[in-house]
Amino acid sequence: MVSSSHEALHRIFQKDAGLLVRSLQRLLHIPFPEPREIVALDVDLTEIEPIERRCDTLLRVETDDGNFLFVIESQGRKDEAKRGSWAYYLSYLYEKYHCEPVLIVVTQSAATARWAAKPIQFGLPDWPSLTVRPLVLGPENVPVIADRHEAERDVPLAVFSAIAHGRGPGAAAILGALAEALKTLDPEAAGSFAQLTRSGLVDPRAKEIWEELMTVTKYFFDHRFAEEAREEGREEVRALLAEERAKSILRTLDWRGIELSPEDQERVRSCVDLDRLAVWLDRSYEVSDATGLFGDDGGDDGDGGA
C-alpha cells in the first residue's frame, strides 16, 4: 500500500508505465520513440559492500531505437547529498545493464524542481569529467487538470496532476474533476487510483476534500445504500446521504473562500434532494459565488427523491 506523498509521486509511474513516455513527449517535449515494452526492475542498487542504495522507481523501456533505463526519484526538498547519489545510480546502472540511464526527478515543490534541474558536474570547473542533467517534473510543467473530460482522457496524468498541484483553493476543482473521471474506470482500478491520490496529497484540507469526495461518490463503487434508499424508501439513509453532501458543499466553499449568506447556507443544509445536492457539489469546486452554485435551480428544495 502506498502510504506517503513521496511514494505516490513515483509509484504512479509503476501503476501506469505509459505515463512515463507521455510525460517525456507531452510535458518535457522530448521526442522519445514509442516503446515496445516497459518493465519495472528491482530498485535495489546495493553492492557487496554494506552500503544500501535504492532508487525510488526503475523502469526499463525497450524501443526500436534502443533500450533505456529510467530512474525516477521523488524529491520533497533540496538535498545536496542526492546529487552524488544520482550520479552514482546512473553510472552503476549503465555498468550493470549496458543501457542508457535517464534520471527523472518528480516533486510537488517549484523551488525543489528548479534546484533539481541544475546540471550536476564533477571534475575541473572548465572541464567536468562527469555531467548529470536531470529531467524534472513538477508544478511548473505538470498540467493543471480541472476539467472532468480532460481527466477522463488520461486518468493517470490526472492523478499525477492532483498530486503535483494538490495545495490551496485550486485543488478542489482538480480533485473534483478526478473524482468524476474515476467513475469511468472499473472499481478495482478506480479504488487503486483513489488510494494513490490520497497518499500523494500533503495539504490536510485537500486530503479532507478527497476523503469527502470518495465518501459521496463511493456509490459508483458500491451502490448498496443508494439502492436501499430507492427500493425500500429508507428515509434515514437518504437523510444521512443528504447531510453528508450538504456538509461537503459548505466545507468546499469555505475552503475556497466563497461566502454564502446564512439563508443560502440553510438552503443547502435543508435540501434533501440527493440529485440536486450532487449537482451543487459538482459546482462547488468551480463556482465563484452563490449564484453560480444554485444556477437556474428553483427555490423548492424539498424531497424530490434520491
Tens of pLDDT, residues 31-40: 888 888 887 7
192 has a pLDDT exceeding 90: no
pLDDT > 70: what percent of the chain?
A: 83
> Can you give the pLDDT at residue 208?
83
pLDDT digits (tens, 9 = 90+) for 69-79: 999 999 988 99
Average pLDDT, the chain: 81
Nearest residue to 75 via CA among 23, 7, 28: 7
Q: Report the relative pairing of strands 35-40 and 57-63 from DSSP bridges.
A: antiparallel
pLDDT in tens, 86-113: 999 999 999 888 889 999 999 999 999 9
CB atoms within 10 A of CB 246: 20
Q: Determine what percent of the chain is predicted with pLDDT higher than 90.
A: 23
For residue 133, the model assigns a pLDDT of: 94
Calculate the alpha carbon distances from 50 to 45, 47, 53, 111, 198 in Å.
11, 7, 10, 34, 35
Residue 306 class from Cβ within 10 Å (0-12 exposed, 13-18 middle, 19+ buried)? buried
- The whole-angstrom separation of Cα 206 and Cα 220 is 21
Q: Name the pLDDT band for 285 (thresholds 50, 70, 90).
A: confident
Q: Is the pLDDT of residue 49 over 50?
A: yes
Q: Are 200 and 170 in contact (CB under 8 A)?
A: no
Place of cell 475552503: 255
pTM metric for this prediction: 0.64
Q: Which has more pLDDT, 167 or 241? A: 167
Residue 51 has a pLDDT of 53
